[in-house]
Structure 1
């Protein structure tokens, strides 16, 4: 796989959500709707704090 999954903390409500690093669509917070990731054609722009990188199992 060419990307990683990131655990991102929402800047508004502090909800933690898993986001694909190379997201091809806009990812919104499941709780408050704030944009967490915006696609750029490669790695997505992450708009929250990256708390952890989720390891492949």
Structure 2
């Protein structure tokens, strides 16, 4: 499995969370529950600010 992990900042509560770039399920913020990423069948649609690529595979 190849893909990248991204550090994403929630625009609602400023929480930073690591998200897989090809997420197969909806990813919610661990603090406030806002959706951070939605699956699209390939790369996930990241809906908030991407801070950096944490790990490339």
> Which TM bucket (shorter chain)?
over 0.9
Q: Does the alignment pair 1:42 with 2:57? A: no
In structure 2, C-alpha distance between the alignment counterparts of 1:31 and 1:51, rounded to whole Å: 18
Taking structure 1 as the reference length, what is the TM-score of the superposition?
0.92
Residue segments in structure 2 that go unaligned for 5+ positions in a row: none
CA displacement at 1:55 relative to structure 2: 2.5
**Cα distance in 2 between the residues matched to 1:14 and 1:23:** 21
TM-score for both structures, normalised by structure 2: 0.92
The ranges of structure 1 where at least 4 consecutive aligned residues each deviate by more than 2 angstroms after the TM superposition are none
- The root-mean-square deviation of aligned C-alpha atoms, in Å, is 1.0
Q: Which has the higher strand share?
A: 2
Give the gaps of 5 or more residues in structure 1. none
Question: How many residues of Structure 1 are paired with residues of Structure 2 in the alignment?
Answer: 56
Question: Match of 1:32?
Answer: 32
